[in-house]
Amino acid sequence: MFQCLNHSQNLLKAVSNTLQKARQTLELYSCTSEEIDHEDITKDKTSTVEACLPLELTMNESCLASREIFLITNGSCLASRKASFMTTLCLSSIYEDLKMYQIEFKAMNAKLLMDPKRQIFLDQNMLTAIDELLQALNFNSATVPQKSSLEEPDFYKTKIKLCILLHAFRIRAVTIDRMMSYLNSS
């Protein structure tokens, strides 16, 4: 788990640096968190927030009764034998989130590299940090096909989308880092 914690910290630093660079480079593109419409590409596809809910928060009234993974036993929602299952579910969900963002960022970077202005492209450190955390998590999942577009890329829209994705991914990276810290401490 310590290895995952280090990789999650590296990811958070890399995303923060990439976002800072994007805000500076794209200052004319409304790239601050106040100016963009936040979008979660993982919405309705993964359940990281629910899957990674700390055990202490799943007590009595705060149980998520609709989830079959919870079990009420002696005043707590989770029996101890369920803890490792919950950890696996959490890490698997984090893996799926990272995979979705990786695919989006790689497709976006390919478009940005076609821009004759070459104003911005994704920092290789961030892409490497995603790869390293994915390898450390070591889950096998079905690969999501990458959407290929035959139309001419709209570089303005791509840059706005980059800002939106980086802000969302930074929030997700904070969540992942906090969860790895929690799992490492328990």
Q: Cα-flanking dihedrals φ and ψ of residue 31, to 5°?
A: -115, 15
- What's the confidence (pLDDT) of residue 68? 37
Q: What is the pTM of this model?
A: 0.78
- What's the confidence (pLDDT) of residue 79? 39
* CA 144 – CA 152 distance, rounded (Å): 23
Could you tell me which residues come within 8 angstroms of residue 148 by beta carbon, excluding any fewer than 6 positions away?
Answer: none
* CA 37 – CA 64 distance, rounded (Å): 29
Q: Are 64 and 139 in contact (CB under 8 A)?
A: no
- What's the confidence (pLDDT) of residue 177? 95
* CA 92 – CA 76 distance, rounded (Å): 24
Q: Are 155 and 117 in contact (CB under 8 A)?
A: yes
Structure tokens at 95: 């893996």
Structure tokens at 74: 């002696």
Q: State the sign of the Cα–Cα–Cα–Cα dihedral 127, 133, 138, 139.
A: negative
- What's the confidence (pLDDT) of residue 139? 73
- What's the confidence (pLDDT) of residue 83? 60
- What's the confidence (pLDDT) of residue 27? 79
| ∠ Cα 159 45 158 (to 5°) | 10
Can you list the residues of the chain whose pLDDT is less than 70? 1, 55-83, 140-152
- What's the confidence (pLDDT) of residue 67? 41
pLDDT tens digit string along 9-20? Answer: 999 999 999 999
